[in-house]
Amino acid sequence: MSLPENIAKAEKYLGIMFNNKGLLFQALTHRSYSFEKDLPETNEKLEFLGDSILNLLVTEYIYHKFPELNEGDLAKLRANIVNANFLAEIAQELHIGECILMGKGAEQTGGRTRVSILGDALEAIIGALYLDQGMEATKEFVLKNFKSLIDERASLGQFGDPKTRLQELVMATYGNIPRYRTVEEYGPVHDRSFVVKVYINDQVWGQGVGKSKKKAEQGAAKEALKKLREKQ
């Protein structure tokens, strides 16, 4: 993918026109591409910067939006937002995977859909936007793309990850812990999908599908939590 095509496509998906296209190019440059093309920079420094900025903006938003939450719940809510799975979910909505520059090996092993690569690229884009247009533009972008999901998770009481919350609830209700079982795997080796069921007292309470067993388990836990809350 040529530089102009890569940048133009990313700007269209992001809804942002960068003044310094080089910053966006760097934000989308995975280390495998830099190694293959012998380039001096990757998106890792921008990802480091973007992670700090994202933490600040999310903290500021939830602090003012949810004054009823205590420090512990605010910390759990933030951790449930600024994490690889959440970031990858938003990155997928923005089609960032299509725009990442990566080496052939990384691409052939499913790099464009890998959670860590997508999340890191999104944080790098946030860092690049901050350097290019300042904090206000970055805040506008973050709130535009994160706000609805933050509000949804807060309204459902999703202050921790689903597996942790399910275990706490099952322990409190039944005095034991849920069990997870992988019931199906499908797809090519480089792009596997997993189907996981969660059992509570030997009964199925939820099922999840994901590109990793961990993600499928989180999906199963989320479904089980919903059913448990409806029952209470």
Instruction: Reply yes or no on whether the pLDDT at 164 is more than 80.
Output: no
Which of 155, 174, 194 lies at the terminal end of a domain, its last residue?
Answer: 155
Tell me if residue 161 is catalytic.
no
Measured distance CA(145)–CA(138) in Å, rounded:
11
* CATH at 79: 1.10.1520.10
Which of 124, 155, 186 lies at the terminal end of a domain, its last residue?
Answer: 155
Average pLDDT over residues 78-105: 88
Lowest mean pLDDT among 29-33, 40-44, 159-163, 224-228: 159-163
* CATH at 221: 3.30.160.20
Which of 155, 175, 204 lies at the terminal end of a domain, its last residue?
Answer: 155
The pLDDT of residue 156? 62
Average pLDDT over residues 8-32: 95
In sequence order, what are the residues at sequence separation of 6 or more whose Cβ sits closer than 8 angstroms to the Cβ of residue 54?
82, 123, 126, 142
Question: Which residue out of 51, 120, 132, 217 is catalytically annotated?
Answer: 51
121 & 145 share domain: yes
Tell me if residue 89 is catalytic.
no
Measured distance CA(24)–CA(7) in Å, rounded:
7
Average pLDDT over residues 161-180: 84
Q: What percent of the chain has pLDDT over 70?
A: 95
65 & 10 share domain: yes
Host domain of residue 128? 3-155
Choose among 91, 125, 220, 102: nearest CA to 165.
220
99 & 166 share domain: no
Contact (Cβ atoms closer than 8 angstroms) between residue 46 and residue 22: no
208 & 137 share domain: no
Instruction: Reply yes or no on whether the pLDDT at 158 is more than 90.
Output: no
Contact (Cβ atoms closer than 8 angstroms) between residue 198 and residue 178: yes
Choose among 40, 58, 67, 230: nearest CA to 141.
58
15 & 119 share domain: yes
162: buried, middle or exposed (CB in 10 Å: 19+, 13-18, 0-12)?
buried
82 & 172 share domain: no
Question: Which residue out of 47, 120, 123, 161 is catalytically annotated?
Answer: 123
The pLDDT of residue 4? 61
147 & 192 share domain: no
Instruction: Reply yes or no on whether the pLDDT at 232 is more than 80.
Output: no
167 & 151 share domain: no
63 & 128 share domain: yes
pTM value > 0.75 = no
Average pLDDT over residues 140-156: 86
11 & 87 share domain: yes
123 & 150 share domain: yes
Phi, psi of 106 (to 5 degrees): -65, -40
Q: Per the structure, how many domains does the chain have?
A: 2
13 & 99 share domain: yes
